[in-house]
Amino acid sequence: MKFPGHRKIKHYFPVSAPKPELPRFEVDPRRDTYVVGLDQVIVDVVAKVDDTFLQQHGIGKGLSNLVEHDKADRIYQQLLSLGAISDHFAGGTIGNTVHNYSVLADDKSVLLGVMSANITLGSPAYHYLCHTSSKVDLNHLQAVQGDVGRGITLITPDGERTFVIDPGDMDQLTAAGIPAELVTNASALVLSAYPLRASGQPIIAAMQHSLQLANKAEVPVVMSLGTRHLVEELRSSIQQTASQHVQILAMNEQEAEALTGQADPLLAAETILEWVDMVLITAGADGLYLCGYTDEALKRETSHPIKSGSLADFNRYEFSRPMLRRDCRQPLKVYSHIDPYLGGPERIANTNGAGDGALAALLHDMAANHHHRQLQPMSSKHEQPYLAYSSFAQICKYANRVSYEILVQFASRLSKGLPEREDSLEEAYWER
Ligand SMILES: Nc1ncnc2c1ncn2[C@@H]1O[C@H](COP(=O)(O)OP(=O)(O)OP(=O)(O)O)[C@@H](O)[C@H]1O
Ligand SMILES: Nc1nc2c(ncn2[C@@H]2O[C@H](CO)[C@@H](O)[C@H]2O)c(=O)[nH]1
């Protein structure tokens, strides 16, 4: 487990203790620190098109359009004949997140989903496996006869991305195949709201089952919302799932507005904190917000400039560490915001997956906390049952930094971790 922050100071985080045995790729739930992701396994097929292509096929721009296999195949064949397909990447919003987590933490994660039983060269399943970190344990994927999902990613000249999702067998994940011990010993269970639109498909029950397992074992559940129209479509079901089963929600500002009716991320966060314990809201060129709870007696005042928006002095206690609301004697809502790292890249290669990257950073910090608590239970860091190792403010910095890394590369998944020590002029970024 790599340490998630404070890169320039010596710390007592036991990261370099020699491993007594040969490393194993398969997660051992009694010994390893890992997060579990449950997702629709999807390969992103990237193609450049113009707007008329979208109109011709009746595809909603900027959305994730779930279509019938025959229609998706017609689109795919047309793109092939036009020579418009540039790449195949492993995708799926949670697949991306656990892959990024494993790259950042240099440690294991588990992906629960489906995989084709018979894989041929060049098939969607083949591309998926080629582009997934070897630290993501794929031993618990369930075999299906058909293909994994295909996410045709249509890029229009304005840089906007539109998905055409051919589900294949991606929704055939069954509850019976969910390995209970893996879920109940995880640092976190992470899933998205996307499977909620697969009504009548086995993945809904698989999702419910894993949520119940995690809730019973008090494993933090993290849910990312996917995309705005999904939230508009499934608002009440998402709200209900969140307040019953989820501790941490992640979304962008449009999804936050669709969920709460509040266009202002701070006001949206204030509402969302009535349902869950922590919320990450990414806001594109406006950076990101991390909001949650701490105990009144444990609050820590920021040394950063105080900010006001729709809430006055909202970041005053952003140096506090996040807690579950129920663990606070006197819960205090804490809000933190950060502008994009270095003001954002000079040239953005791709914004797809920037939010998934930010969430991976938050998961890394949470898993590091879990890991440290196992190794140093008497440490003062664990006098209270904190949700994460770092403060709200520090996690914001880390999440923002990771998003930047995605923005400057073409793919939506990280291909390498962050530098151990930042060499840039902004080296001071990591110092307090
Ligand atoms: N135009 C931009 N300029 C500077 N930084 C940006 C820009 N767009 C995104 N970012 C950075 O990336 C982070 C995440 O971006 P965004 O809010 O677009 O995520 P998202 O819509 O959830 O992405 P996805 O769903 O594709 O993963 C932001 O919090 C910010 O740090
Ligand atoms: N799980 C899931 N991921 C999706 C869906 N639509 C788009 N994505 C993924 O979202 C990612 C970008 O955040 C891409 O890599 C897409 O594969 C969907 O319906 N389900």
Tokens of 419: 């530098």
| CA 406 to ligand 1 center in whole angstroms | 9
Q: Is the CB of 400 under 6 A from ligand 1?
A: yes
Q: What is the pLDDT of residues 98-145, one digit of tens each?
A: 999 999 999 999 999 999 999 999 899 999 999 999 999 999 999 999
CA 241 from chain center: how many Å?
17
Tokens of 325: 């609301």
Q: Is the CB of 403 under 6 A from ligand 2?
A: no
> Contact 255/122 with Cβ under 8 angstroms?
no
| CA 357 to ligand 1 center in whole angstroms | 9
Q: Is the CB of 288 under 6 A from ligand 1?
A: yes
Instruction: Among the bound ligands, name the one nearest to the CA of residue 346.
Output: 1
> Contact 72/165 with Cβ under 8 angstroms?
yes
* pLDDT at residue 24 in the model: 74
Q: What is the pLDDT of residues 166-208, one digit of tens each?
A: 999 999 999 998 999 999 999 999 999 999 999 999 999 999 9
Of 161, 160, 157, 238, which is closest to residue 197 (Cα–Cα)?
238
| CA 427 to ligand 1 center in whole angstroms | 22
Q: What is the ipTM of this complex?
A: 0.95
Bridge partner residues of 386 (DSSP): 323
Domain boundaries 35-39+91-145+169-413, corresponding CATH code:
3.40.1190.20
Q: Is the CB of 194 under 6 A from ligand 2?
A: yes
User: b or e along 41-55 (b: 16 or more beta carbons within 10 Å of the residue's beta carbon)?
Assistant: bbbbbbbebeeebbe
| CA 93 to ligand 2 center in whole angstroms | 5
Among protein residues, the one whose CA lies closest to atom 12 of ligand 2 = 353
CA 322 from chain center: how many Å?
18
Binding positions for GMP: 92-96, 197
Burial class (CB in 10 A: 0-12, 13-18, 19+), 266: buried
Q: Residue 213 pLDDT > 90, yes or no?
A: yes
Q: What is the pLDDT of residues 271-315, one digit of tens each?
A: 999 999 999 999 999 999 999 999 999 999 999 999 999 999 999
Helix 392-407, helix 354-375: angle, nearest 10: 140
Q: What DSSP string runs through 328-372?
A: -SSEEEEEEEEPPGGGS-SS-S--TTHHHHHHHHHHHHHHHHHHH
Q: Residue 423 pLDDT > 60, yes or no?
A: no
* pLDDT at residue 23 in the model: 66
Q: Is the CB of 353 under 6 A from ligand 1?
A: yes
Of 2, 7, 13, which is closest to residue 424 (Cα–Cα)?
7
**CA pair distance 102, 414, nearest whole angstrom:** 10
**CA pair distance 171, 38, nearest whole angstrom:** 11
* pLDDT at residue 351 in the model: 77
**CA pair distance 224, 151, nearest whole angstrom:** 18
Q: How confident is the model at residue 422 (pLDDT cuts 50, 70, 90)?
A: low
Tell me the C-alpha to C-alpha distance, in Å, between residue 89 and each of 50, 137, 158: 21, 18, 21
Average pLDDT, rounded, for the chain: 91
Q: What is the pLDDT of residues 19-61, one digit of tens each?
A: 566 667 799 999 899 999 999 999 999 999 999 999 999 999 9
Instruction: Among the bound ligands, name the one nearest to the CA of residue 408.
Output: 1
Q: Residue 425 pLDDT > 60, yes or no?
A: no
- Per-residue pLDDT, averaged over 335-364, amounts to 90
Q: Is the CB of 172 under 6 A from ligand 1?
A: no
Q: Is the CB of 357 under 6 A from ligand 2?
A: no
Alpha helix ranges (H) inside 199-345:
202-216, 228-245, 253-260, 265-272
Tokens of 278: 């922590």
Tell me the C-alpha to C-alpha distance, in Å, between residue 418 and each of 3, 280, 328: 11, 21, 34
Among protein residues, the one whose CA lies closest to atom 7 of ligand 2 = 64
Q: How confident is the model at residue 70 (pLDDT cuts 50, 70, 90)?
A: very high
| CA 114 to ligand 2 center in whole angstroms | 15
Q: What is the pTM of this model?
A: 0.93
> Contact 236/261 with Cβ under 8 angstroms?
no
* pLDDT at residue 16 in the model: 57
Bridge partner residues of 154 (DSSP): 47, 162
Residue at 381: amino acid letter: K
* Mutation test residue for ligand 2: of 63, 64, 171, the one with most atoms within 8 Å of CB: 64
Of 224, 163, 169, 150, which is closest to residue 193 (Cα–Cα)?
224
**CA pair distance 342, 187, nearest whole angstrom:** 31
Among protein residues, the one whose CA lies closest to atom 6 of ligand 2 = 64
| Ranges of each domain in the chain | 35-39+91-145+169-413
* Mutation test residue for ligand 2: of 39, 40, 93, the one with most atoms within 8 Å of CB: 93
Tokens of 53: 């292509």
> Contact 220/292 with Cβ under 8 angstroms?
no
Q: Is the CB of 100 under 6 A from ligand 1?
A: no
Binding positions: 92-96, 197, 282-287, 355, 400
> Contact 141/115 with Cβ under 8 angstroms?
yes
Place of tokens 């999904």: 230
